[in-house]
């Protein structure tokens, strides 16, 4: 290759890199980043701003109105009185939360002849610390 061709190829490569047309070749740094990224995270773009604000209000209400928290093998069960949280409210919350956090398993139970409403969140190993932080689960004393 002549000197002019080399310069031309280098210039084209430089322009392509500045324009973002060249993707990095996978290497150790990218592999490290993939390993250090958290496994459980919220997709903040899953809900539009209006839906996100509504979901935040629902989440705050669910946290405030819990009557009991039961730790399970794969997560937590939050218990409610159907007089303070309706089945429809809980289902609406689950529909939105499943868009943000698709790694959760959601289970809704109506028990004790309709006197107990339960939301059980489950997930893969390691999800409990995320749940504790996101849903303000008090640490054991």
What is the overall mean pLDDT for the chain? 80
Residue among 93, 97, 76, 94 at smallest CA distance from 139: 76
Model confidence pLDDT, tens digit, residues 14-61: 333 333 333 334 444 444 444 444 677 788 899 999 999 999 999 999
139 band by pLDDT with thresholds 50, 70 and 90: confident
All structural domains of the chain, each given as residue ranges with its CATH number in brackets, are 3-36 (no CATH), 49-134 (3.90.1150)
Residue reference for tokens 């089945």: 87
Contact indicator for 66, 82 with CB cutoff of 8 Å = no
pTM of the model: 0.71
Residue reference for tokens 């937590």: 76
The two three-digit tokens of residue 125, written as one number: 């190993």
Counting every residue written for the chain, the total comes to 141
The two three-digit tokens of residue 127, written as one number: 């999800």
């Amino acid at each position: 290759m002549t000197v002019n061709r080399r310069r031309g190829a280098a210039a084209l490569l430089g322009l392509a890199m500045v324009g973002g047309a060249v993707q990095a070749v996978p290497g150790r740094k990218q592999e490290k980043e993939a390993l250090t990224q958290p496994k459980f995270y919220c997709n903040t773009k899953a809900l539009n701003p209006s839906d996100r604000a509504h979901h935040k209000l629902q989440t705050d209400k669910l946290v405030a109105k819990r009557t009991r928290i039961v730790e399970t093998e794969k997560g937590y069960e939050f218990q409610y009185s159907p007089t303070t949280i309706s089945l429809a409210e809980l289902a609406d919350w689950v529909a939105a939360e499943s868009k943000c956090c698709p790694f959760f398993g959601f289970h809704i139970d109506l028990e004790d002849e309709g006197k107990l409403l339960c939301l059980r969140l489950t997930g893969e190993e390691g999800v409990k610390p995320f749940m504790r932080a996101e849903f303000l689960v008090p640490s054991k004393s």
